Every structure is written in C-alpha cells, then in structure tokens.
C-alpha cells in the first residue's frame, strides 16, 4: 500500500465515521433543541410539487409563525391557526371557517410545528450530501421509513450548519413525485401580540362557521 492509498484509506475511514446513523441522529436532535429554545420563529416558505415523468411542476409561497405547539400559517390564499386546543382553517374564497380538533386530522397539508419532532420515530437515518447554498453549508440527512410505506420512499432534510436550523425538506414519493419545502427569511424571538394565536370570530361576521 503506497502513501496515496494510505491517505485515501484514512480519508474514507474518517468519512464513514462522520456519516454514521448516530451522527445523523445527533445532528437532528441538536437542530430540534435549537429550534425549541426560541420563544417563537417565523419564516417565509416555498412549496414545490413536481413529477418530471408527468411534466408537472407547481410552486406556491407561504408564511408561518410558530411558538411551541401554536402556529399560524398562510398558504394558498388560506389561513390556518392552532391555538393549542382547536385548529381553525379560514378560507376567504368560500367565506368559511372550519374548526377541528388535532385528532380529527389535517387537510391543510402543512403543520409547521411537526418540523421539530416528526423525525423522532419511524425512520432510519443516513448522512447524505453537503451543499453550499448562497455561502451557507447545508448538510442533508436522509430519513428512510422503518416500515414499508407505499406512498413514501424517503425524505431529505437539509440543515443549515451555521445556525443549526432547518433549511429544506424534500419528500420523495413512491410515485416519483417530489415535494420540496424551503424555509427563507427565518426570524426568531419576535414580539407577538398576546392574542396572536387566538381565533377572533368577530373578524369574520359573514363567514359560515363549520364546527
């Protein structure tokens, strides 16, 4: 074994050690802990759905604010609010508000508070590629469902290594449909009004309230 082979062998050994499932889980836990330490955070996001085989690409922008389990999301012209007990989905186009409990499920499609905890069960972890995005190092972790999932092949979670926050979540479906959620303009510990996550029915006097 010559000196070049030794160097390559050592490099690969160090890389494999750094790319262990334990290292991936440790990084995810660190990110979750960092985000949970904020009183609140808000961010713009871009949601892209694409299937290259079907020549489909849809892109939508939104905005979210999270404080613990509470959240408010603006997406597709609608708003969803969770006050800790009930979920309020406000659809201006239909002049309708639907009130539901968390156990009834969520048809809105995005629950930002789950970004903190969804990975903690049901997945195996792999250290994946690292990219440079606008000068920021983004490390991807691959999450593979532990049980057979006819809808999901795997997830890729991109971590901003400078801030230890989530930058991007990519979902690869079994149908080869890919959805990408990219967080932008992340702000933390902003001043929110005391009733920021409270539904005020007086703002929707002509809306049909479906509870």
**Contact between 27 and 134 (Cβ < 8 Å):** no
Distances (CA, A) of 168 to 47, 115, 181, 184, 211: 10, 11, 6, 9, 34
More confident residue, 45 or 5: 45
CA dist 188 and 203 (Å) reads 27
How confident is the model over 107-154, as pLDDT tens digits?
445 566 676 667 777 888 889 989 998 889 999 999 998 877 778 899
DSSP code, position 104:
G
* Residue 139, SS3 per DSSP: strand
Q: Supply the pLDDT for residue 9.
A: 40
pLDDT tens for residues 7-38?
334 444 444 445 578 888 888 889 888 988 99
In which residue are the tokens 């469902």 written? 145
Cβ(63)–Cβ(80) below 8 Å: no
Three-state secondary structure call for residue 128:
strand
Query: What is the predicted pLDDT for the residue at 8?
Result: 39
Using a 10 angstrom Cβ sphere, with 0-12 exposed, 13-18 middle and 19 or more buried, the burial of residue 115 is buried
**Long-range contacts (CB closer than 8 Å, 24 or more residues apart) made by 107-112:** 108/73, 108/75, 108/78, 108/80, 109/75, 110/47, 110/62, 110/64, 110/73, 110/75, 110/80, 110/181, 111/71, 111/82, 112/64, 112/66, 112/71, 112/73
Average confidence score pLDDT of the chain: 84
Q: How confident is the model at residue 188 (pLDDT cuts 50, 70, 90)?
A: very high
Token couple for 75? 């997406």
| 22-205 homologous superfamily | Lipoprotein localisation LolA/LolB/LppX (2.50.20.10)
pLDDT in the model for residue 159:
93
The domain spans of the chain are 22-205
**What mean pLDDT comes out for the span 75-84?**
91
Q: What is the pLDDT of residue 105?
A: 53
Q: Work out whether strand 96-100 and strand 123-133 pair parallel, antiparallel, or are unpaired.
A: unpaired
pLDDT tens readout for residues 93-111: 999 999 998 766 554 455 6
pLDDT of residue 120: 75
SS3 state of residue 143? strand
Entry pTM: 0.82
């Amino acid at each position: 074994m010559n000196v070049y082979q030794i160097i390559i062998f050592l490099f690969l050994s160090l890389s494999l050690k750094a790319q262990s499932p334990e290292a991936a889980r440790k990084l995810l836990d660190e990110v979750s802990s960092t985000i949970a330490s904020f009183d609140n955070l808000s961010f713009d996001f871009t949601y892209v759905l694409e299937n290259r085989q079907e020549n489909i690409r849809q892109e939508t922008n939104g905005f979210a604010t999270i404080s613990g389990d509470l959240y408010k999301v603006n997406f597709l012209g609608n708003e969803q609010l969770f006050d800790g007990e009930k979920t309020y989905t406000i659809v201006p186009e239909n002049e309708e508000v639907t009130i539901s409990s968390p156990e009834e499920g969520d048809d809105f499609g995005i629950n930002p508070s789950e970004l903190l905890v969804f990975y903690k069960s049901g997945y195996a972890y792999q250290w994946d590629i690292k990219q440079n995005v606008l000068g920021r190092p983004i490390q991807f972790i691959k999450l593979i469902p532990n049980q057979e999932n006819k809808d999901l092949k795997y997830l890729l979670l991109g971590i901003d290594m400078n801030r230890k926050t989530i930058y991007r979540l990519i979902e690869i479906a079994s149908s080869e449909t890919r959805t990408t959620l990219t967080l932008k303009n992340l702000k933390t510990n902003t001043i929110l009004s005391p009733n920021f996550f409270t539904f005020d029915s007086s703002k929707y006097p002509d809306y049909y309230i479906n509870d």
